[in-house]
Amino acid sequence: MRVEQIAVFLENKSGRLAEITRILAENDVNIRALSVADTADFGILRLIVDKVDKAKESLRAGGFTVGKTNVVAVEVPDRSGGLASVLKEINEVGINVEYMYAFVNKSGENAVLIFRFDEMDKAIDVLRDKGFTLLSGAQICAL
């Protein structure tokens, strides 16, 4: 099960992140998860939002470069070893994690791990076969 994620390239300067969140808020787009990675010159903001196409359109209209990729969302108990259990299974079949980030549900009982794998279909099959719960974009937005 794949989840659509948008990636926004932004200059590493004051106010750019605030501008992105303002644009999304003005267009009634709710951010459900995010990650920011930066270098000296630019950053990549990865977002899971409730209205992917509206987010892309409004950010592009605001002058931002926006891409869309697929990621995998895995729900695990929010306890020691949750991430390790996923990575153990992925490692055993030789799949590479390109990047990942996580968030905790409002209930605090489970964590959701967002992954980008080098072999997405294989990773999905392995995780399903091992009994992990994979979430859709709609499920993430309902949390």
Per-residue pLDDT tens digits for 130-141? 999 999 999 988
Residues 14 and 39 in one domain: yes
C-alpha angle 41-44-47 in degrees, rounded to nearest 5 = 160
Residues 132 and 115 in one domain: yes
Residues 53 and 93 in one domain: no
Instruction: Say yes or no to pLDDT of 106 above 70.
Output: no
Q: Please name which of 112, 105, 109, 107 lies closest in space to residue 132, comparing C-alpha atoms.
A: 112
Reported confidence tier of residue 36, pLDDT bands at 50, 70, 90: very high
Residues 78 and 98 in one domain: yes
Residues 35 and 89 in one domain: no
| Residues of the domain holding 31 | 3-69
User: What's residue 53's pLDDT?
Assistant: 96
Reported confidence tier of residue 23, pLDDT bands at 50, 70, 90: very high
User: What's residue 107's pLDDT?
Assistant: 53
Counted domains in the chain: 2
Residues 26 and 79 in one domain: no
Task: Please give the Cα distance from 108 to 58 (Å, whole number).
Answer: 32
Residues 12 and 55 in one domain: yes
Instruction: Say yes or no to pLDDT of 99 above 90.
Output: yes
**What is the maximal distance between C-alpha atoms in the chain?**
45
CATH number of the CATH domain containing 95: 3.30.2130.10
Task: Give residue for tokens 């501008």.
Answer: 19
Question: pLDDT exceeding 70 applies to what percent of the chain?
Answer: 97
Reported confidence tier of residue 45, pLDDT bands at 50, 70, 90: very high
Residues 9 and 57 in one domain: yes
User: What's residue 13's pLDDT?
Assistant: 81
Reported confidence tier of residue 108, pLDDT bands at 50, 70, 90: low
